[in-house]
Amino acid sequence: MEPGLTLKSISFSYGNHWSLDGISFGLTKGELVGMIGPNGSGKSTLLRIMDGLVRTDTGEVLLMNRPISSYRRHEVARQIAMVPQESIFRFNFSVLEVVLMGRFAHRGLFPFEEKKDLEIARESMRRTGTLDLERRSIHELSGGEKQRVLIARALTQKAQFILLDEPTSQLDIRHKVEIFELISSLVRGQGFGVMVVSHDISLAAQYCNRMLLLNKGRMYRIGSPDEVVTTDTIREVYQCPVLVDKNPITQTPRVTVLSRRPENNKDIAVQPLRHKGTEE
Amino acid sequence: MGLRGARDQIVTPLRVLSIGIILSIVLAAVAFISLSMGPAKVSMGTILGWCAGMGSVDQTTSMILANIRLPRILLAGLVGFTLSLGGVVFQALLRNPLAEPFILGISSGAAIGAIAGIVLGLGFSVGVPLLSFISALATILLVLGISSRHGGLESSTLLLTGVIVNAFFTAVIMFFIATASDSRLHSMLFWLYGDLSQSKYIQFSLCLPLVLIVSGVIYLFSRHLNLIVGGEEPALQMGVEVELVKWVAFIGISLITGVVVAFSGIIGFVGLIVPHLMRMMLGPDHRLLIPASALGGAVFLVAADTVARMIISPSELPVGVITAFLGAPFFIYLLKRKGSQWNQD
């Protein structure tokens, strides 16, 4: 299938010490792609570039074969929805009001919602299990609930592509799994094209069709979870001793983090890792 | 808080309309009471008759009502409407609870022009307001010019620029005041604290069309503002042309603020507290908050101006003294009871 959202040899530099370079790939409808990489490797910036929020130095982002820079913001919002890492709500909007904000790009000048908008919002809330939170204030919600509400808002946008920036970083294991289950059911059921940035490598490997490993602004590897998540790649990129084996149930790569002190890793033969220091 | 209604229902045109009608009725009632008050007492019955064009109203009373009280009430209402509208919009755009229409320096800019006009001995009907309006606009263009980078306006840069420009112009104003003759000092001080005693119909009819056009345009952006208060980046992601909204709103609000300030002087506090009061009572949705703040500002300023001309009658106080004197304690009471409704983390 033709990718709907394509990056062609993107480069972008931020100040003098930091850059993204040579990024090319496409996000297709119906696939879930996980983006992983150490802190500061450029994941969030790449996500913002994909949404047309950052102008690149070279290369271009094509949305349905047209440069994303040629779209107006509301036109982009009808195709791409973004779920931020965390959202600040200064005022106590109700959950329903927050979800309805996703209809913005579909409304004309008349500033009020119609019945159809409410139906779409409620349908998104039903799919994300937030319908019974409808009347609650956004401030009263737990981290997991808030994240599901933000996903409901993205669904209400009726876009084909959804980009999520570390949606599980604040959540406990149960809620992490719930979010991944939700995302992957949306991809399978509704055919969205989804890109998710995550630090939960094993979990992402369990659910994603493809993975992209970013290292210092470059594409270190892209491919199936088996190809991308290996002991060598993760060690090299994260500069951290790990062991990658297979999850016995799902047969997907599983990352075990080891201690930097070899004597603590009693039963596992691990070569000591050359310490390169952490990057900025 | 009877107006509060159920916060869990979403804002519908019907809800906006009904709150708009309630506030308009309150405004009309306050205006009637204000008409009846003054050194010459006029009964409510007489006023109702006068308004309906019936009843026997002697010529002096008719003159007082038509030429002194009514133009002043109309202008007070329009000034309150404009400043409060400016406050609610600036609070949203700058995402700052301290924002009010004067925060970007428009007040001191207008003051420089007005005080220069007074020093030059210009009249209060044309010369002073004209100079004031021109210098207000020049100031806001200066602030927007300094703050804009690559066509973008960043909130904290704007705020800081406004504060610095205000400080600089205040120093210039103090220089004028320190060197002014006693006869002009009184005019200057009254202008600086807001004075509606020079009100005329022509001022109201000059301001009205401009205020209506700008409010209409701003209202079309009310949903945009709901998204922008949640951050500019999320708003962009959901399809808001954030920079366009900011430029149109900053220039539009500055234009109407500049016009009304030229006639009224600097009436503080209205643009700060009325939007907060309305947010506490009606919730954060700008589709309701904008009209409610604007009408609430009109009610508040008509009432405050009535007090200003009554309290030490037959002499008068600048209305800005009353807005702060009455507004501050009431505001503190509500703040203690309900919190600011702002969540800053």
Of residues B269 and A163, more confidence is placed in: A163
What is the predicted pLDDT for the residue at B345?
Answer: 47
**Inter-chain contacts counted by CB atoms under 8 A, chains A and B:** 94
Segment A8-30 mean pLDDT: 87
Give chain B positions within 8 Å (CB) of A78. Answer: 239
Domain containing residue B295: CATH number: 1.10.3470.10
**Would you place residue B328 in the very low, low, confident or very high pLDDT band (cuts 50, 70, 90)?**
confident
Residue pair B239/A104 in contact by the 8 Å Cβ criterion: yes
B323 closest CA partner among B305, B335, B296: B305
Question: Using CA atoms in the order B258, B264, B268, B269, what is the torsion angle rounded to 10 degrees?
Answer: -100
**Model confidence over B14-40: pLDDT tens digits?**
999 999 999 999 999 999 999 988 877
Residue A14 corresponds to which tokens in the numbers above?
């931020």
Which fold, A5-264? Rossmann fold (3.40.50)
| Measured distance CA(B330)–CA(A47) in Å, rounded | 47
CA distance A244 to chain B (A): 36
CA angle B54, B59, B60 (to 5 degrees): 125
Mutate which of A45, A71, A73, A119 to disrupt the B interface (most B C-beta within 10 Å)? Answer: A73
The reply to whether A109 touches chain B by the CB within 8 Å rule is: yes
A51-72 confidence digits (pLDDT tens): 999 888 899 999 999 999 999 9
Does the pLDDT value for residue A271 go beyond 80?
A: no
Would B345 be classed as within a structural domain? Answer: no
Radius of gyration from C-alpha coordinates of chain B:
20
Alpha-carbon gap: A68 to the closest alpha carbon of chain B (Å): 13
Element (H, E) at B152: strand B152-153
The predicted pLDDT at position B303 comes to: 95
Q: Which of B88, B238, B341 to mutate to test the interface with A (most CBs of A within 10 A)?
A: B238
Question: Which residues on chain B are in Cβ contact (under 8 Å) with A74?
Answer: 239-241
A74 touches chain B (CB under 8 A): yes
Confidence of residue B70 (pLDDT cuts 50, 70, 90): very high
Res. A186: pLDDT tops 80: yes
Burial class of B8 by CB neighbour count within 10 A (0 to 12, 13 to 18, 19+): middle
Q: Is pLDDT at A168 greater than 60 in this prediction?
A: yes
Chain B closest-CA separation from residue A277 CA (Å): 32
Q: Check residue A47 and give its pLDDT.
A: 94
Give the per-residue pLDDT at A1: 55
- Quick one: pLDDT band at residue A277, thresholds 50, 70, 90? very low
Specify if B136 maps to a domain: yes
The whole-number pLDDT of residue B289 equals 96
Burial of B341 by CB count in 10 Å (0-12 exposed, 13-18 middle, 19+ buried)?
Answer: middle
Identify the pLDDT of residue B304: 94
Is B343 contained in some domain? Answer: no
Residue A92 contacts B, CB cutoff 8 Å: yes
pTM, rounded to two decimals: 0.89
SS3 assignment, position B61: helix
Residue B244 lies in a domain: yes
Domain boundaries of chain A, sorted by first residue: 5-264
Residue type, B24: S
Shortest Cα–Cα distance, B326 to chain A (Å): 27
**Model pLDDT, residue B236:** 93
Give pLDDT, residue B55: 64
**What is the ipTM, given to two decimal places?**
0.87
Q: How confident is the model at residue B87 (pLDDT cuts 50, 70, 90)?
A: very high
Rounded to the nearest integer, the mean pLDDT of chain B is 88
Confidence of residue B212 (pLDDT cuts 50, 70, 90): very high
Give the one of A91, A109, A157 whose C-beta lies nearest to B284's C-beta: A91
Q: Is residue B171 domain-resident? A: yes
Give the B window 164-203 contacts with A, CB below 8 Å: none
Residue B8 pLDDT > 50: no
| Arithmetic mean of pLDDT, A130-159 | 90
If one counts every other C-beta atom within 10 angstroms of the C-beta of residue A233, the result is 19
> For position B125, what pLDDT does the model report?
76
Q: Do B343 and A74 touch (CB under 8 A)?
A: no
Q: Is B187 left (phi over 0), alpha (psi -120 to 50) or beta?
A: alpha
Peptide bond into B129 cis (omega under 30): no
Do the Cβ atoms of A101 and B8 come within 8 Å? Answer: no
Tell me the pLDDT tens digit for each residue of A219-234.
Answer: 999 999 999 999 999 9
pLDDT above 70 covers what percent of chain A?
92
The verdict on B18 touching A (C-beta cutoff 8 Å) is no
Given an 8 Å threshold on Cβ–Cβ distance, is B239 in contact with A105? yes
The answer, yes or no, to whether residue A267 has pLDDT greater than 70, is no
| Shortest CA gap B160–chain A (Å) | 21
Range name among A88-92, A272-276, B256-260, B296-300 with the lowest pLDDT average: A272-276
What integer is the mean pLDDT of A113-130?
A: 92
> Domain range holding B314?
2-338
Mean pLDDT over residues B192-206, rounded?
87
pLDDT digits over B131-155, tens only?
Answer: 999 999 999 999 988 888 877 788 8
SS (H, E, C) chain A: CCCCEEEEEEEEECCCCCEEEEEEEEECCCCEEEEECCCCCCHHHHHHHHCCCCCCCEEEEEECCEEHHHCCHHHHHHHEEEECCCCCCCCCCEHHHHHHHHHHHHCCCCCCCCHHHHHHHHHHHHHCCCHHHCCCEHHHCCHHHHHHHHHHHHHHCCCCEEEEECCCCCCCHHHHHHHHHHHHHHHHHHCCEEEEECCCHHHHHHHCCEEEEEECCEEEEEECHHHHCCHHHHHHHHCCCEEEEECCCCCCEEEEECCCCHHHCCCCCCCCCCCCCCCC
Are residues A72 and B241, on separate chains, in Cβ contact within 8 Å?
Answer: yes
pLDDT higher than 80, residue B7: no
**Is the CB of A78 inside 8 Å of chain B's CB atoms?**
yes
What is the per-residue pLDDT for B54? 67
Q: Does the CB of B305 have a partner CB in chain A at under 8 Å? A: no
Assigned domain for B344 exists: no
